[in-house]
Structure 1
Amino acid sequence: MKPCCQSCLPDRTINPTIGKRPQAGRISIIEMSAVRDQVQICVVNGNTAPEALSETFDEFRNRIHQPHSLLPLWLSKLSRRVPKQLTHAEKKAALPMTVLNPATLHFDDCSNEQSDASIPIGRICGAARLNIKVKQSATLSNGATRVESDPPMSNEYSHIVVGAGSVGSAAAYWLSQRGAERVLVLEQYDLLHQNGSFSDHSRIIRRVYPSTDYVRLSDAMFDAWSHVESASGLPLYTKTGGLDLAEIGTTGYGYVEKSRATLDALGIPYEDLNAVDIRRRFPQWRVSDDTEAIWQADSGILDIRRSVSAHISLALAAGVEFRGNARVENIDMADNGVTVQTATEEFHADRIVVAVGSWLGTLMGDLGLSFNLTLSQEQVTYFSSKSLSSFTPDRHPIWIHHAPNDVYYGFPVYGEAATKVARDMRSRFINSEDRVFEGDDIEGELLAEYLREHLPDAAGPSLLHRTCVYDMPPDRGFVLDTLPGHPHVAVFNGAGHAGKFSSLMGQILADLQTTGSTPHPIAPFTLNRPAIADPNYDRTFTLPAPAVH
């Protein structure tokens, strides 16, 4: 086998002094990994294209035991000048090594020590720091010698994601798919905890919105979920179709009219139903004669908890590191990176994604954000009944009733042996520290009263309550942007309706923090729009009317 270095170094014998460091200010660039029984070496000499060598462990062992082994040459002579500032990728590529004895050097990917016990072991895995000091050698039980060195700077990452909820976990997964080198996710609670908006079973997924800003993203939204379902093997989307109902002449009917205009503008198919149509197709309903509805066939249920599980599992398998119970207490932004502090550790990264949902307010000062973020304590209730079989996903859709005084929404039987009902944005405004994680029977009775009037066969004893918190800018629109002057810092806020879009939002955040741009239309969600930039913007919590072209 022809050594790869013969193509990039003079063909002459060099006898480097083993145990000496490379010259001050110069570092060796070498990437080494072990996969099963193969040793793979990649070396770079200045601006020369990488050269690769792959051979079996036996061949490698024979090579390093030869009197004139070229391995010390690769370690000590392939070098370049160190710039003052290095990115994480450059640091990882730069490995200044002191080789005490080439016969005691073995490298691996930190998971391969059992590959061949006869190979001398000297670990250099994960060497991401610039000054590795060789310490005392230790003799292992098999007689091999391990070269001990200072541990690598394990708290340095290419990307940090703050929050492992529906969007944070998605961002972590999509970063791994976009080639991010070393990703850390910091979550203040346990992974898959019960305190977040994803802790329940289901969220509505739909195309029906009164704003083209969101409907334009719906194709990509469904595509993202299809990808995650395929990659994870886990069903996430249950298609039920969906009803948006309202009484003619009410404020809620205006929402339905705007939604029709949006769907028409973008060519999304739907059906208009009058009260007779609704009763005939869905006899479970009791509606007034002046009720109309939009029926859109693609609506359904997103299993939000499964979605977070899928994103985390896929990200873990791709090498993303997760730290649970690691609440971020401070983010310090510099021109070329960030420093993130928890109660016990400090982490450094080139780029960061902040997706902490309704806990964003605690970090807004660190991020230089000052827009009005309103929190509303929400509740859903599951109801038992004698007629649950009439409300299975194949017999009854998801629905949103834009009633005269409130907006109610509900689900067929899913996740629990019960139907689920809630009010949207019930305006129980709170501070972050006042949130509760248990519902109450008062709200449950209000929802039961609604069922008795409009869906009497679903009305029955309450099975359980669950809570979540809406986190809303004044216009209730998403915030999806990088910070002005800090393009390496991305932030997301979901305004209480991002669950359905969470995988796509994670994908877009990964785009912004790997390539600097995204093909998806996100201009309406920037930090410089009036609802965010103007401190006096009225808190309407109303999405903009459709832009019909």
Structure 2
Amino acid sequence: MALYDAVVVGAGIEGSATAYNLAKNGQRTLLLEQFPLPHSRGSSHGQSRITRVAYGKDDHYANMMKEGGKLWRELERESGTSLFLNCGCLAVGTPDNPFIKGTISSLARHRVNHDVLSYKNLQNRYPMLSLPPDHVGVLDYSGGVLMADKALQAFQKMYVRYGGELRDGEKVINIIPGSDVTIITSKGQYKARKLVLTVGPWATKLLPQLGIHIPLKVVLISVLYWKEKTAGEFSSDRFPAFIHDGEDIHVYALPSLEYPGHVKVCLHVGPVTNPDSRDKADTREVITEMQQYVSKYMPSLKSTPSIIETCMYTNTPDKQFVLDHHPAWKNIIIGAGFSGHGFKLSPVVGKVLSEMVMDKSPSYDLAPCQIDRLIQPKSQL
């Protein structure tokens, strides 16, 4: 049986970015994916994701994002694929909202070009929005949209070009830790010096088999597309990526890109679900809430979604990632709990996880992402 330097389980954006970095650094790497590629059953599919630099109190992510932008451009050059649309990212809320205050502070601290917009400025620049008069806006000129499916395919394409081996439609059945790790799948058996687990929502099922009990929560996000009443009003040259944060509002939107004349507007939360039976989750409350939101704040859109898709978030209680070694088996490395904001950081996550595989000091302080902050005694489960 061949011995790999590393096996990466899970070919979503984090796993594919990790495998890409490993192969690029000369590591003999196998990337395993349980579903046939491409697929829409996890957290990395779809055409678009918001990207931005500001991270308020989570300054370690803002530091990562500064390099993340450079790494996305490097992947664009390597793969010959356009992955980033620089249309800006607009955050709106009340001036005393912690998210708004944190965004302004982060952008200023990291010297990112931005504007703070009064209510009148918001009305003038974005007449398609109907926001409350106590709102202000923060426009991050460095933000915009990542082309998600193309980004995932670019990582996988370059991974294979660098000599990596990719096997899809192959589910991991069992993992046997040891000085070398044995991975048993639905189709075979492999050995690796190091194992990386980037399995998204399935971390809730796989990690307990390895004795790790952490409070990950999988939620189903309804990805909703709403038709413009006036064609072109929400095009990317008029409407940036958008985040509306408030006491009871956690909404994001992207300009009309995927479907002609349709705008993606979604609630950032959803019902808890099982990744193996996610379609059983009841999303009626989310749809109703979003219909009310669109009618009130985006009256330039029709108030019933034309297209409904789904995605899953795997949330940690503090919304911080898990980037760490297994507490007992240091040759098993875990990337989990990306909490709906990990996609844009995936080039840096992949770099950091690959550094851990290669026994290098990580490029960033990973103290906020250590797994022991979340491990629960079985009596508390």
Q: Which residue of 1 aligns with 2:30?
A: 184
Letter in 1 for 2:182: T
TM-score, normalised via structure 1 length: 0.65
- 1:376 equivalent to 2:251? Answer no
Residues 117 and 139 in structure 2, CA contact (< 8 A), matched pair in contact too = yes
CA shift, 1:496, in A, is: 2.2
Distance in 1 (alpha carbons) for counterparts of 2:230 and 2:288: 19
Residues 437 and 466 in structure 1, CA contact (< 8 A), matched pair in contact too = no
Letter in 1 for 2:54: V
CA shift, 1:247, in A, is: 2.7
- 1:199 equivalent to 2:42? Answer no
Q: Which residue of 1 aligns with 2:344?
A: 500
Q: Which residue of 1 aligns with 2:54?
A: 208
Bigger drift between 456-465 and 285-294 goes to 456-465
Distance in 2 (alpha carbons) for counterparts of 1:535 and 1:413: 47
Q: Which residue of 1 aligns with 2:294?
A: 451
- 1:436 equivalent to 2:279? Answer yes
User: What are the Cα deviations for residues 177-232 of structure 1, in whole angstroms up to 9, with x where unaligned?
Assistant: 1110x211111101221212122111111112222121111111111101111111
Please state whether the residue corresponding to 1:258 is helix, strand or coil. Answer: helix
Letter in 1 for 2:180: G
Q: Which residue of 1 aligns with 2:20?
A: 173
Residues 51 and 143 in structure 2, CA contact (< 8 A), matched pair in contact too = yes
Distance in 2 (alpha carbons) for counterparts of 1:468 and 1:201: 12
Distance in 2 (alpha carbons) for counterparts of 1:400 and 1:361: 29
Q: Which has the higher contact order (CA 8 A, sep 6+)?
A: 2
Larger Rg: 1
The counterpart of 1:278, out of the listed 94, 103, 122, is 122
Q: Which residues of 2 match residues 400-415 of structure 1 at below 5 A?
A: 400-415=243-258
Q: Which residue of 2 aligns with 1:261?
A: 105
Q: Which residue of 1 aligns with 2:182?
A: 339
Please state whether the residue corresponding to 1:453 is helix, strand or coil. Answer: helix
Residues 379 and 443 in structure 1, CA contact (< 8 A), matched pair in contact too = yes
Q: Which residue of 1 aligns with 2:194?
A: 351
- 1:313 equivalent to 2:160? Answer no
The counterpart of 1:221, out of the listed 68, 74, 78, is 68
Q: Which residues of 2 match residues 133-148 of structure 1 at below 5 A?
A: none
Please state whether the residue corresponding to 1:184 is helix, strand or coil. Answer: strand
Q: Which residue of 2 aligns with 1:521?
A: 365
C-alpha spacing 1:439/1:295, structure 2 compared with 1 (3 Å)? farther
% identical aligned pairs? 26
Distance in 2 (alpha carbons) for counterparts of 1:261 and 1:369: 37
Distance in 2 (alpha carbons) for counterparts of 1:437 and 1:270: 42
CA shift, 1:293, in A, is: 1.7
TM-score, normalised via structure 2 length: 0.93
C-alpha spacing 1:535/1:270, structure 2 compared with 1 (3 Å)? farther
Distance in 1 (alpha carbons) for counterparts of 2:354 and 2:265: 34
Q: Which residue of 2 aligns with 1:543?
A: none
Letter in 1 for 2:348: L
C-alpha spacing 1:229/1:276, structure 2 compared with 1 (3 Å)? same
Distance in 2 (alpha carbons) for counterparts of 1:430 and 1:197: 13
Please state whether the residue corresponding to 1:370 is helix, strand or coil. Answer: coil
Residues 175 and 183 in structure 2, CA contact (< 8 A), matched pair in contact too = yes
In structure 1, the gaps of 5 or more residues are 1-152, 539-549
Q: Which residue of 2 aligns with 1:237?
A: 84
Please state whether the residue corresponding to 1:456 is helix, strand or coil. Answer: coil
CA shift, 1:420, in A, is: 0.3
User: What are the Cα deviations for residues 389-408 of structure 1, in whole angstroms up to 9, with x where unaligned?
Assistant: 11111111011111331211
Q: CA RMSD in A?
A: 2.1
- 1:473 equivalent to 2:316? Answer yes
Q: Which residues of 2 match residues 32-181 of structure 1 at below 5 A?
A: 153-154=1-2, 156-180=3-27
Q: Which residue of 2 aligns with 1:328?
A: 172
Distance in 2 (alpha carbons) for counterparts of 1:174 and 1:388: 42
Distance in 2 (alpha carbons) for counterparts of 1:185 and 1:223: 24
User: What are the Cα deviations for residues 514-538 of structure 1, in whole angstroms up to 9, with x where unaligned?
Assistant: 243222332221123x3x14669x9
CA shift, 1:286, in A, is: 1.1
